[in-house]
Every structure is written in C-alpha cells, then in structure tokens.
Chains A and B, each alone.
Chain A
C-alpha cells in the first residue's frame, strides 16, 4: 500500500518562529489533506490540497503531486499551534494518514 512519511517527527519552536513541515507519499493520490490534532484528539481540517498552493491566515500549504510531496508552512507560530500535524492522502478511496509531526511552541 501507499506509504506516507512526515518530517520532522518532532519540532520545538519559540513563539513567533516560522516552520515548514513536509509530507512525502509513495504513489499518486486523488486527495491530500492537512490536519491539526489538538490535545483533546479533535482532528481539525487545515487544507484540502491535492495540488497547488493555498493560504489561510498564518498557514499555507503547497502540494507538488508530480513529485509526491506536500509542505505546510506555519508563520509567526503561537502557543495555540501546538499539537500534532498530520497529512493524509486518499488512494483508492482510503484516507491514509502520515506519521505525524508533533509541534510544541513555547512562549
């Protein structure tokens, strides 16, 4: 099956710093989503981005489907950005999650 790897696995930032999270996948996909999982377990939709670039406030994402990777940019990070970030890809009607990046933002 498709493999989805994220890097880095862990990231520690001071408030105000910028960061880039990466998602690599091993096969072509129909869909790619980025989620933020908060400490209570809720998966919050950040981007639905099978290709191209999107921006939402301090967050933006780029997917290069032909090269099988996606990037999530977080600018001017805040303590509320802490949590786990997952990318997930849809391949044959299965949404498969990546390994995740655990982000901690300190004041």
Chain B
C-alpha cells in the first residue's frame, strides 16, 4: 500500500476562520512533508517533519502551523489566511532520507479557497 490520504479534498474558509488539513499514511514512513501549489506552478516545499520533529521550515508565515502528533499523522493548522493563500496543499511521506534520498509518495491534495 503506497497510499497517503488527505482530508478534506476541498475547503472554503473565510479570512477569520480557523481550519485544519489532515494527512495520514500507514507505510511506516518517518518523514512527512507539506507542499503548496499555485495554479500552473510546481509544488513548493513548506515544511518537513522527520521522526515527528520539525526539521525544515521554508520561511512559511506563522498563519500556517504544522503539527505531527504521531508517526502516521500530519496536520496543518490554518488561521487568519489571506486570499493569496488559496492553492492546492499537498502532503507527502517517505522513509527518512538521511542524506540518501528515498521515494516520496503524495496524497491527492486539499484544494483550499480563502474568501
């Protein structure tokens, strides 16, 4: 099974709302990622968790708050977003790279619209 599951698939939220995106995998992967993809652009890395610890934050605004409660789950908490944050948010997982690089698998994404 190489499945990464993201919920919800679609989300519309107001600029004053608080919402969360959820990502789950059961492949025993210990590295998990959040990416943001705007229309007609490649995915851009936001955060990397390795062994449930935040290892990379690509200077993401604090209105995006990641959380890794356990090795199978990754959340992205959203608060006070702006319309320009509307995008496809992708979660991925892999075995930890340890500098060697391993195959990453992606969820189907959450399409977020901020109104």
What string of 1s and 0s marks CB contacts (under 8 Å) between B71-115 and chain A? 000000000000000001010101011111111111011010000
Q: Which residues of B contact A3 (CB under 8 A)?
A: none
Given A41-B37, A42-B106, A93-B55, check contact A29 B42 (CB 8 Å): no
- Tell me whether B109 and A42 are in contact (CB under 8 A): yes
Q: Which residues of A contact B108 (CB under 8 A)?
A: 40-42
Q: Is B25 an interface residue (CB 8 A)?
A: no
- Tell me whether A43 and B103 are in contact (CB under 8 A): no
Q: Which residues of B contact A86 (CB under 8 A)?
A: 42-43
- Tell me whether A93 and B2 are in contact (CB under 8 A): no
Q: Is A50 an interface residue (CB 8 A)?
A: yes
Taking the closest CB of chain A, its distance from the CB of B66, in whole angstroms, is 15
Q: Is B15 an interface residue (CB 8 A)?
A: no
- Tell me whether A94 and B109 are in contact (CB under 8 A): no
The bracket for how many chain A residues form the interface is 20 to 34
- Tell me whether A95 and B56 are in contact (CB under 8 A): no
Partner of B111, one of A41, A48, A93, A99: A41
The bracket for how many chain B residues form the interface is 20 to 34
- Tell me whether B42 and A99 are in contact (CB under 8 A): yes
Q: Is A30 an interface residue (CB 8 A)?
A: yes
- Tell me whether A96 and B103 are in contact (CB under 8 A): no
Given A30-B99, A90-B97, check contact A95 B104 (CB 8 Å): yes
Q: Which residues of A contact B92 (CB under 8 A)?
A: 95
User: Considering only CB atoms, which chain A residue lies closest to B45 in the complex?
Assistant: A94
Q: Which residues of B contact A31 (CB under 8 A)?
A: 97, 100-103
Q: How far is the CA of A50 from the CA of B55 in the complex (A)?
A: 23
Taking the closest CB of chain B, its distance from the CB of A79, in whole angstroms, is 21
The 16 sampled A-B contact pairs (Cβ below 8 Å) are A30-B100, A31-B97, A41-B37, A41-B88, A41-B109, A45-B103, A50-B101, A86-B43, A93-B31, A93-B99, A94-B45, A94-B48, A96-B45, A97-B42, A97-B44, A98-B42
Q: Which B residues form the contact surface with A (CB < 8 A)?
A: 2, 31, 33, 37, 42-45, 48, 50, 55-56, 88, 90, 92, 94, 96-106, 108-109, 111
